[in-house]
Amino acid sequence: MSWNRTWGYLAICVLTFPGILCSLQEQRQVLLVSFDGFRWDYIYKFPTPNFQYIIKNGIHVEHVTNAFITKTFPNHYTMVTGLYAESHGMVANEMYDPVLNDTFSMNHMTIYNSKFWEDAYPIWITNQREGHRSGAAMWPGTDVKIHDVFPTHYMLYNESVTFQERVAKLIEWFTSKNPINLGLLYWEQPDEWGHILGPDNPCMEEVIRDVDKNLGYLVSELKRANLWDTLNVIVTSDHGMAQSSRDRIIELDLYVDRELYKMIDHSPTVALLPGEGKLDEVYNALVNAHPHMSVYKKEDIPNRLHYNHNSKIQPILAVADEGWEILQNKSDGFIWGDHGYDNMLPEMHPIFLAHGPAFRRNFTKQAMNSTDLYPLLCHMLGISPLPNNGSLDNVKDLLVSSVPGAPQPRFLVDYQQGSYAFYMGIILGSILIFIFLLAFVRHLTYSQTPAVWGRQTEMTQPLLQP
Ligand SMILES: *[C@@H]1O[C@H](CO)[C@@H](O)[C@H](O)[C@H]1NC(C)=O
Ligand SMILES: *[C@@H]1O[C@H](CO)[C@@H](O)[C@H](O)[C@H]1NC(C)=O
Ligand SMILES: *[C@@H]1O[C@H](CO)[C@@H](O)[C@H](O)[C@H]1NC(C)=O
Ligand SMILES: *[C@@H]1O[C@H](CO)[C@@H](O)[C@H](O)[C@H]1NC(C)=O
Ligand SMILES: *[C@@H]1O[C@H](CO)[C@@H](O)[C@H](O)[C@H]1NC(C)=O
Ligand SMILES: *[C@@H]1O[C@H](CO)[C@@H](O)[C@H](O)[C@H]1NC(C)=O
Ligand SMILES: [Zn+2]
């Protein structure tokens, strides 16, 4: 009687084995690269041969709706958590937490205050909890102890460390005896020059050429290390950049006494903490003050921005229209390019390209949400995503596995080109599974354990019906 069941088990195993192989094929190493402030359309405005090379051989998403506010820390944390800023808690580059009575500033050592990061668990923590290893070259937050954890390997943030040195570290970690499966690489350009020059300045061409050269360097080093064909590389950014002008400055001092509030986060999306009992006075003074400035009480911030539910979001938020700056006084610092505006604005959108065995080739997608990157990364790493605001369904068309019939031949190609160790691993694995099955079959055939059988029979029986 148990032969039927046994063949049923065997059938299930045989049927699921190719599935396991297919998912193995996607569960590989991933390198996530961010070029800070790389606007989505720089690749159309300036010569970028290395970006074009990845587009031709991989995928390209034209518009990524990033997280509001469109600044560096909120968006780098969204990419590694899949959460809107209100949920991951990194709500701005400059913050005040009234619960902790503590401040956080990108320009000071206060970024090492763990508490500000601990509303969420970034992907490297989950990756390591599931037994893998992560390596980070200056990605925001990766040198901060978050929930008592650092990435397996990381570099202390130091802007003077060159792109080449960062790449060298990542390659060392990817090729070590205990390799990482997740790498994170951050580079400060073209954001810094974008602020100084403004995105419309013709000198941006030189800046973008330089970033493109860096990307070319990364690709050639990955090829040299024999990683290019097996590594899934995603090249993206946190936000874009908009052109400012001295003719588009909104001066708060003209409308409200600066003694009545504290400016916590700065232009173009300004977080204001009114003095005790001064909320309505400050709000009323500003709400209709300028046609190019929207002013919200915290509870009235539009839902689509997902920017309400966090104690670090201040009682008043003033958002400038694109290209406008909100300063207290015209003599305050002025910059030619800025970001932080509404995330619906195309100028705020980042670049998004990817290449690797998991990704389709020469495939362009119109749009995605940056919250979808996290479930995509988890899928590729084979780890379980924590609750998040993205969806793998929205982006799985980027993957080879979404194309009917594609995974099998692709696996065979990789198998032939794969290393000796990989080849032997598959053969040994198959032999072990076969031996295990044989032993299992023998065990089932002679086993006399009706209690366990009874339960399992209910599950397998339907599969055995002719
Ligand atoms: C908050 O901290 C500041 C010093 O950083 C202190 O002067 C102030 O009294 C504190 N406020 C509360 C409510 O604890
Ligand atoms: C930052 O890196 C530069 C260049 O490698 C080095 O000279 C400098 O000492 C580093 N700074 C710190 C604080 O480690
Ligand atoms: C604003 O700037 C002007 C110079 O442009 C200066 O004279 C004035 O004192 C400043 N006001 C405040 C409140 O700082
Ligand atoms: C890439 O795709 C475009 C349009 O989808 C097609 O015209 C082009 O020939 C493709 N290029 C390659 C190299 O497959
Ligand atoms: C982005 O997310 C919103 C809200 O969940 C959804 O309605 C929209 O379809 C998503 N966009 C894309 C391109 O997936
Ligand atoms: C985003 O995800 C978090 C975690 O699951 C959840 O608490 C929050 O309500 C979500 N936000 C939205 C707008 O769905
Ligand atoms: Zn910036």
CATH number at residue 184: 3.40.720.10
Atom 12 of ligand 6: nearest residue by CA position: 389
- Note the pLDDT tens digit of each residue in 276-319: 999 999 999 999 999 999 999 999 999 999 999 999 999 999 99
Once rounded to an integer, what is the mean pLDDT over residues 387-397? 97
Contact 357, 230 (CB under 8 A): yes
**Ligand 2 within 6 A of CB of 158:** yes
**Ligand 6 within 6 A of CB of 389:** yes
- Take residue 199 and report the two structure tokens written for it: 């995105």
Within 6 Å (CB) of ligand 5, which residues are found?
A: 367-369, 394
In ligand 5, the atom with minimum distance to the C-alpha of 369 is 1
Cα 450 to Cα 2, 444, 453, 454: the distances in Å are: 11, 11, 5, 6
Once rounded to an integer, what is the mean pLDDT over residues 150-179? 97
**Ligand 6 within 6 A of CB of 291:** no
Q: Find residue 183's DSSP bridge partners.
A: 31, 135
Atom 7 of ligand 2: nearest residue by CA position: 160
Measured in Å, residue 101 CA sits from the centre of ligand 1 at 6
Q: Is residue 290 part of a domain?
A: yes
Predicted confidence (pLDDT) at residue 385 exceeds the cutoff of 80 = yes
Helices assigned H by DSSP within 339-419: 373-381, 407-417
- Measured over the CA atoms of residue 56, residue 58, residue 63 and residue 66, the dihedral's sign is negative
Same domain, 232 and 352: yes
- Note the pLDDT tens digit of each residue in 205-226: 999 999 999 999 999 999 999 9
Atom 14 of ligand 5: nearest residue by CA position: 368
Q: Is residue 423 part of a domain?
A: no
Ligand sitting nearest the alpha carbon of 258: 3
Same domain, 305 and 193: no
> Is the bond leading into 404 cis (omega within 30 degrees of zero)?
no
Per-residue pLDDT, 263: 97
Domain boundary among 338, 370, 387: 338
Predicted confidence (pLDDT) at residue 457 exceeds the cutoff of 50 = no
pLDDT band at 404 (very low <50, low <70, confident <90, very high): confident
Predicted confidence (pLDDT) at residue 23 exceeds the cutoff of 50 = no
For a mutational test of ligand 4's pocket, the pick from 56, 362, 365, 397, i.e. the residue with the most ligand atoms closer than 8 A to its C-beta, is 362
Record the pTM.
0.84
Q: How do 59-65 and 363-369 pair as beta strands?
A: parallel
Per-residue pLDDT, 435: 66
**Ligand 3 within 6 A of CB of 259:** no
More confident residue, 393 or 28: 393
Q: Is residue 399 part of a domain?
A: yes
Ligand sitting nearest the alpha carbon of 330: 3
In ligand 6, the atom with minimum distance to the C-alpha of 306 is 13
Same domain, 45 and 68: yes
Nearest to 66 by CA among 314, 429, 370, 364: 370
Predicted confidence (pLDDT) at residue 413 exceeds the cutoff of 60 = no
Q: Is residue 275 part of a domain?
A: yes
Per-residue pLDDT, 28: 84
Q: Output the average pLDDT for the chain.
A: 88
Predicted confidence (pLDDT) at residue 42 exceeds the cutoff of 90 = yes
Q: Which residues are catalytic?
A: 72
Same domain, 282 and 317: yes
Same domain, 396 and 259: no
Same domain, 37 and 155: yes
Domain boundary among 338, 366, 401: 338
What is d(CA 9, CA 391) in angstroms, rounded to the nearest whole number? 33
Domain boundary among 417, 434, 451: 417
Per-residue pLDDT, 445: 53
Atom 11 of ligand 2: nearest residue by CA position: 158
What is d(CA 165, CA 36) in angstroms, rounded to the nearest whole number? 17
CATH number at residue 277: 3.30.1360.180
In ligand 2, the atom with minimum distance to the C-alpha of 158 is 1
Measured in Å, residue 106 CA sits from the centre of ligand 7 at 11
Same domain, 325 and 229: no
Q: What are phi and psi of 24, to 5 degrees?
A: -60, -40
Same domain, 196 and 225: yes
**Ligand 4 within 6 A of CB of 361:** no
Same domain, 357 and 209: yes
More confident residue, 437 or 85: 85
Same domain, 406 and 297: no
Q: Is residue 132 part of a domain?
A: yes
Same domain, 374 and 357: yes
Kindly report which listed range (1-10, 156-165, 381-390) carries the lowest average pLDDT score: 1-10
Report helix, strand or coil for 312.
coil
Q: Is residue 5 part of a domain?
A: no
Per-residue pLDDT, 69: 97
Same domain, 198 and 308: no
Q: How many structural domains does the chain have?
A: 2
Supply the range of the domain harboring residue 398.
29-83+120-243+344-417
Kindly report which listed range (163-167, 360-364, 435-439) carries the lowest average pLDDT score: 435-439
Residues with CB under 5 Å of ion ligand 7 are 191
Q: Is residue 257 part of a domain?
A: yes
Ligand sitting nearest the alpha carbon of 110: 1
- Note the pLDDT tens digit of each residue in 54-67: 999 999 999 999 99
Ligand sitting nearest the alpha carbon of 102: 1
Atom 11 of ligand 3: nearest residue by CA position: 329
Q: Is residue 7 part of a domain?
A: no
Q: Contacts for 149-152 with beta carbons within 8 Å, 24 or more apart? A: 149/124, 149/125, 151/124, 151/184, 152/124, 152/128, 152/180
